[in-house]
Chains A and B, each alone.
Chain A
Amino acid sequence: MSDFYQTDIITTLHRLGRPGLERLESELQDFSRQRPLALVLPALYSEFEAEALRGIVEELKKVRYVKEIVLSLGRASDKEFQRAREFMSVIPYDVKIIHNEGRRVKEIYATLERNGLWAGEDGKGRSAWLAYGYIAASGRADVIALHDCDIVTYGREMLARLCYPVVNPNIDVVFCKGFYSRVTDRMHGRVTRLLVTPLIRALQKLIGGHEFLSFLDSFRYPLAGEFCMTTDLAWVNRIPWDWGLEIGMLSEVFRNYSTKRVCQVDISDNYEHKHQPLSNGTGNGGLTRMCVDICKTIFRVLAAEGVVFSDNFFKSLEVGYLRLAEDTMVKYEADATLNGLFYDRHGEAKAVETFVTAIQTASKVVLDNPMGTPLIPSWRRVSSGIPGILDMLRSAVDEDNR
């Protein structure tokens, strides 16, 4: 059982007592008549060959309050797309698969590009964004939930808890982010524990009290990929297509909505998914690229908020971050010792070194090109530029799924 502490800015919904999945699902079934829910699943075809997705599908078969699932499939041939359709056909409600590598969807991307609306490179951000567009086009859902397809410990309670605050009209929330701990015989989630949180606090020390930084710091797991939001929010938000997706999404929510309408919810006692290596040896892959993208997004959002960056600022930031990260390691070591977990001090220190390099790289990129935010335009802007784009997208997905 967790504590019941509320952070300063956003609402935190804890796991208290025995919430009861049956009650949650039955209420969700009632509420979803007023606010129909669509579930977005960004997935690569390789995930269809892993065990995690099989478990997720088994759980989703039992869910009764989801109006439709929109699975945005990446890196799949036409044959693999058909196999994915067969795989998902056991789900007893509407499932639409967006074939990102298919002829029709590729033509949608080409249409956007020739009209000066670049949707970014292939990845989770672009896949999710396209799924939001399809949901807006079909007009069948008022609420969108999203989670990854590599969750090994997936249970349908996770989905119910994630959706409940937005689907329930009595809780006036437009965006809800999941949080959880990632623990096996050790603690995982290095990027959140040792990069994002110490970096935000180091920035707060240098800049002083800043609303966006306090907002980010209020999230227990700002990099969690699980969230639920209203379709309106998906319509107006611009999101990054790279690894800065989660932070970029939070920055847009912060920009467009009152923080009173944002919450985080404890969705699981434990969460396990695939782990990324620190680096793939080239210094450009693994967690390194992810960290650079995250840092760039944070810096660019702050620049847009009026924070002035300079070379000296970043030098101080690196030193400040390193010190805070080292202090954080000490705290986590104590936490691990108390709970009988293995703590790889050397591995964590190596991770922090990598993160310092990532901050240096990101700061250089931002100083060189402060405007280079790779944001995908909002659907509002896209449909204003190409009035028939949503109809085209709906035709493409519906034809692929026929």
Chain B
Amino acid sequence: MENFKDLLIDPFRKFWAGLVDFLPNLLAMAVIAIGGVLLSWAFRLVLLKAFRALNFDAFCDRMGMTTMLRKANVWTTPSVLVANGVFGFFAVVFSMLGLSALRLQAIDSLSVQFFMYLPRAFSALVILIVGYMAAGFVARTVLIAAVNGGYNYAKLLAEGVRLLVIVMVLAMALEQLQIAPGIVVAAFSIIFGGIVIALAVAFGVGGIDAARKVINRGPEGKAGRDEIEHL
């Protein structure tokens, strides 16, 4: 009878002992998560003040970043967007830290994966920012060169080049984030390859005379070239 009683009570006793063991972990998680979120919120407010002092929104307006947001139908100010992003990031980091305080194996491995992923996310962000700036720079260079070269469709050409660079940058960022890398590489190869083939075909067929001139210019062209050079 005594044995049966133990059998009944033992699971509850073990559960209670486990709960008592686990409670400090839960408390630690709650403290880290709630404290972290509050800290992140405070950091968000500080960041907003700093952005205001630095005229960050006006800088984004002039650099065309606000325009990009508006075109994507995002109507918050860039400073609020960045501050909210930073807040969200730190809130997630603190939540993950808090979860790791639970010392559960499944959650531990999730936390490790998360923190291992952070450098990738960071480099993808850097790629996007640098790529956006590079796209603007290249498009501007093409526009100036095309206008000076007397091409009629200079703006179209510049926008086309900007689009190509942005497609390339997006593919790089997605590859860095390891989001369906196989599909990204295949899609990028198809799109980029397709564009290059289309341009080659267009030049070869549409501009057959121009292509012939370029080919014929070869060695004779070089031989017959004027030796006088401009100073």
CB contact between B62 and one of A115, A395, A396 (< 8 Å): that residue: A115
Interface hits, A367-398 → B, CB 8 Å: 385-389, 391-392, 395-396
Interface residues on B, range: 10 to 19
A110 to B62, CA, bound (A): 14
Residue B217 is within 8 A (CB to CB) of chain A in the complex: no
Q: Are A395 and B70 in contact, with the CB atoms below 8 A?
A: yes
Q: Are A392 and B70 in contact, with the CB atoms below 8 A?
A: yes
Which residue, of A107, A388, A391, A392, has the highest number of chain B Cβ atoms within 10 A? A388
Given contacts A388-B66, A392-B66, contact A114 B55 (CB under 8 A): yes
A115 to B63, CA, bound (A): 12
Residue A104 is within 8 A (CB to CB) of chain B in the complex: yes
A121 to B66, CA, bound (A): 24
Interface hits, A109-130 → B, CB 8 Å: 110-111, 114-115
A115 to B67, CA, bound (A): 14
Q: Are B75 and A107 in contact, with the CB atoms below 8 A?
A: yes
Given contacts A103-B75, A104-B75, A107-B75, contact A391 B58 (CB under 8 A): no
CB contact between B73 and one of A110, A111, A389, A395 (< 8 Å): that residue: A395
A387 to B67, CA, bound (A): 9
Q: Are B67 and A114 in contact, with the CB atoms below 8 A?
A: no
Q: Are B75 and A114 in contact, with the CB atoms below 8 A?
A: no
Interface hits, B62-95 → A, CB 8 Å: 62, 64, 66-68, 70-71, 73, 75, 77
CB contact between B70 and one of A110, A115, A385, A391 (< 8 Å): that residue: A391
Residue A399 is within 8 A (CB to CB) of chain B in the complex: yes
Q: Are A392 and B67 in contact, with the CB atoms below 8 A?
A: yes
CB contact between A387 and one of B64, B73, B77 (< 8 Å): that residue: B64
Q: Are B67 and A388 in contact, with the CB atoms below 8 A?
A: yes
User: Chain B's nearest CB lies how many Å from the CB of A115?
Assistant: 5
User: Chain B's nearest CB lies how many Å from the CB of A225?
Assistant: 31
Q: Are A395 and B71 in contact, with the CB atoms below 8 A?
A: yes
Taking CB as reference atom, which chain B residue is nearest A102? B75
Residue B108 is within 8 A (CB to CB) of chain A in the complex: no
Q: Are B67 and A391 in contact, with the CB atoms below 8 A?
A: yes
CB contact between B61 and one of A103, A388, A396, A399 (< 8 Å): that residue: A388
Q: Are A110 and B64 in contact, with the CB atoms below 8 A?
A: no
Residue B57 is within 8 A (CB to CB) of chain A in the complex: yes
A30 to B31, CA, bound (A): 75
Q: Are A385 and B57 in contact, with the CB atoms below 8 A?
A: no
Taken residue by residue from 204 to 222, chain B's Cβ proximity to chain A (1 for < 8 Å, 0 otherwise) reads as 0000000000000000000
A389 to B71, CA, bound (A): 11
Enumerate chain A residues within 8 angstroms of B71, measured Cβ to Cβ: 391, 395
Taken residue by residue from 38 to 66, chain B's Cβ proximity to chain A (1 for < 8 Å, 0 otherwise) reads as 00000000000000000101100110101
User: Chain B's nearest CB lies how many Å from the CB of A63?
Assistant: 32
Enumerate chain A residues within 8 angstroms of B57, measured Cβ to Cβ: 111, 114
CB contact between B64 and one of A107, A388, A399 (< 8 Å): that residue: A388
User: Chain B's nearest CB lies how many Å from the CB of A356?
Assistant: 45
Given contacts A387-B64, A388-B67, A392-B66, contact A114 B58 (CB under 8 A): yes
21 A-B pairs whose Cβ atoms sit less than 8 Å apart in the complex = A103-B75, A104-B75, A107-B77, A110-B77, A111-B57, A111-B61, A111-B66, A114-B55, A114-B57, A114-B61, A386-B61, A387-B62, A388-B61, A388-B64, A388-B67, A388-B68, A389-B61, A392-B66, A392-B70, A395-B70, A396-B70
